[in-house]
């Protein structure tokens, strides 16, 4: 039997106009302290976001999103936040904010394969149905 890992995850959202409350799911961050696992999967569907917000600066949004995997990985490439322990980096990433990038509430799950869990959540919650 495979060992099962409890994990927390949050959905990364682009909110072009905070006052309207509309958003596009663009990624998932998954954290499991017992496995020392902090990973994200990010994918900006530019066409879908452009439909939601025709005048948005897609390159700026992408540059903001590019920071998330670096913070997950840690180290100097992520700046001073990257030097924090994994738990602190996760909580920094998922902290409530009122900017163009927002996170869903943190949810919990259990799986024996954390990479597979991340892929499953990404496919289910971010990718648009075919």
Each residue's pLDDT expressed in tens, for the chain with a length of 130 residues? 689 999 999 999 999 988 888 999 999 999 999 999 999 999 999 999 999 999 999 999 999 999 999 999 999 999 999 999 999 999 999 999 888 999 999 999 999 999 999 999 999 999 977 6
Predicted pLDDT of residue 60: 96
User: Is residue 5 exposed (0-12), middle (13-18) or buried (19+ Cβ within 10 Å)?
Assistant: middle
pLDDT for the residue numbered 98: 80
pLDDT of residue 1: 64
Q: What confidence score (pLDDT) does residue 10 get?
A: 98
The pLDDT of residue 21 is 85
Per-residue confidence (pLDDT) for residue 106, from 0 to 100: 98
């Amino acid at each position: 039997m495979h060992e099962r890992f409890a994990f927390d995850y949050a959905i990364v959202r682009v909110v072009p106009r905070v006052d309207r409350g509309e958003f596009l799911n663009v990624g998932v961050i998954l954290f499991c302290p017992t496995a020392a696992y902090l990973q994200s999967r990010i994918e900006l569907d530019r066409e879908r976001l452009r439909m939601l917000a025709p005048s948005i600066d897609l390159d700026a949004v992408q540059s903001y999103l590019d920071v998330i995997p670096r913070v997950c990985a840690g180290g100097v490439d992520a700046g001073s936040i990257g030097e924090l322990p994994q738990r602190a980096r996760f909580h920094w990433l998922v902290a409530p904010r009122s900017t163009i990038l927002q996170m869903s509430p943190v949810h919990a799950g259990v799986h024996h394969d954390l990479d597979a869990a991340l892929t499953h959540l990404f496919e289910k919650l971010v990718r648009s149905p075919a």
